[in-house]
Homo-oligomer: A and B are copies of this chain.
Amino acid sequence: MDLRVKKTHDSLQRALLILLNQKSLENITVAEICRIAEINRGTFYLHYKNVHGVFERYFNDIVKDLKFSYDFPYDVTKDNLSMLTPEMIQIFHHVKKHEAFYRIVFDEKTPMLYYHKLLETVRSFILESHLEEIEHISDQQLEYLASYTANSIMGILIQWHKEDYVLAPETLNKYIYEFYRLNETLKKNI
């Protein structure tokens, strides 16, 4: 790979991180990030459409980290019966690890793009490991079930974000498990 291109990308990524310590993402301009990175503004537009382009590159690295951590089995007692197993705790640990990053992802000003990408990732985890055994369900219905299930976990993340990430990942995991069992109890009261 061309060293010049790599240098451009690295400089811009480094400049973005510097600026994110000073101001919010939506207040960072292309001109500004180029000044810090010592990159010509014209060069910027050769590679990215806007500042979010640089952030998206950063995002892809973070999600790679999530996918990697998910490939490692977290707990031996794999509970395949629930669609929302304690396995999901890895997602909470991941978000906590990159908290500063996810504060931006869930921010009101941030485009939906990153939310969609994260949901897609969680969705693939669920499709790969938890939805195989389901019968009597159409392909299309399975797509909806995956989104339904994955996004319920995203709901936990959003609430976590709203409460400033105060709870421990283990607590969230316990919550999910209890929410799953809750259906059962309610049904028994019929």
A-side interface residues toward B, CB under 8 Å? Answer: 81-83, 106-113, 115-116, 119, 133-134, 137, 140-141, 143-156, 158-159, 162-163, 167, 172, 175-176, 178-180, 182-184, 186-187, 189-190
- Please tell me how many copies of the chain the complex holds: 2
A189 and B112 form a contact (CB under 8 A): no
19 A-B residue pairs with CB within 8 Å: A81-B186, A82-B186, A83-B183, A109-B112, A116-B158, A133-B189, A134-B182, A140-B167, A143-B163, A144-B172, A145-B182, A147-B159, A147-B162, A148-B156, A148-B179, A149-B152, A152-B152, A180-B183, A183-B183
A155 and B152 form a contact (CB under 8 A): yes
